[in-house]
């Protein structure tokens, strides 16, 4: 998750629809999750299956306040799949898993109300 999770952050500047379309946000299912104690901020290492077109991708997510690794496999999550990979210690995070801040600024994962096919794109 990036900076500005604060609840009183102003709205971002207006963008054109093409800028929105450039961000590829997909649904995937977590296939494995394990603790990432070496990370500077507490995190969980995820492997997420985004279906046949994108496949399985890794993500480091700072979600330890509300989630335990053993409870995450099988859960659908949304992620940005077209950012360049980021090296986090010895772990290469390939996608940015998305969430919202709760009242204390801790991450709550974002997922659809109903199951959708892995690889479905946000529009």
Q: Examine the pLDDT at 97 and tell me if it is beyond 80.
A: yes
* 15 domain residue, yes or no: no
What is the percent of the chain with per-residue pLDDT over 90, rounded to a whole number? 84
Which stretches does DSSP call E strand in 15-116? 25-36, 43-49, 56-61, 76-80, 86-88, 91-93, 96-97, 99-101, 107-109
* 19 domain residue, yes or no: no
Domains: count for the chain: 1
pLDDT reported for residue 89: 87
Q: Examine the pLDDT at 107 and tell me if it is beyond 90.
A: yes
Cβ neighbors of 53 (< 8 A, separation 6 or more) are: 119
* 105 domain residue, yes or no: yes
* 119 domain residue, yes or no: no
Q: Examine the pLDDT at 21 and tell me if it is beyond 80.
A: yes
pLDDT reported for residue 5: 59
- pTM value is 0.90
pLDDT reported for residue 31: 98
Where residue 93 sits, what CATH number does that domain have? 2.40.50.140
CA 64 → CA 2, 15, 68, 82, distances in Å? 16, 33, 6, 24
* 81 domain residue, yes or no: yes
> Range of 83's domain?
25-109
Q: Examine the pLDDT at 39 and tell me if it is beyond 90.
A: no
């Amino acid at each position: 998750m990036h900076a500005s999770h604060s609840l009183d952050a102003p709205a971002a500047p207006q963008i054109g629809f093409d800028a929105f379309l450039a961000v590829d946000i997909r649904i995937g299912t977590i296939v494995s999750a394990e603790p990432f104690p070496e990370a500077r901020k507490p995190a969980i290492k995820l492997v997420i299956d985004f279906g046949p077109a994108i496949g399985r991708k890794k993500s480091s997510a700072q979600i330890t306040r509300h989630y335990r690794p053993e409870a995450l496999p099988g859960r659908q999550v949304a992620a940005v799949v077209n950012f360049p990979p980021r090296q986090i210690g010895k772990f290469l995070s390939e996608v940015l898993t998305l969430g919202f801040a709760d009242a204390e600024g801790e991450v709550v994962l974002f997922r659809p109300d109903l199951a959708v096919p892995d690889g479905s794109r946000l529009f």
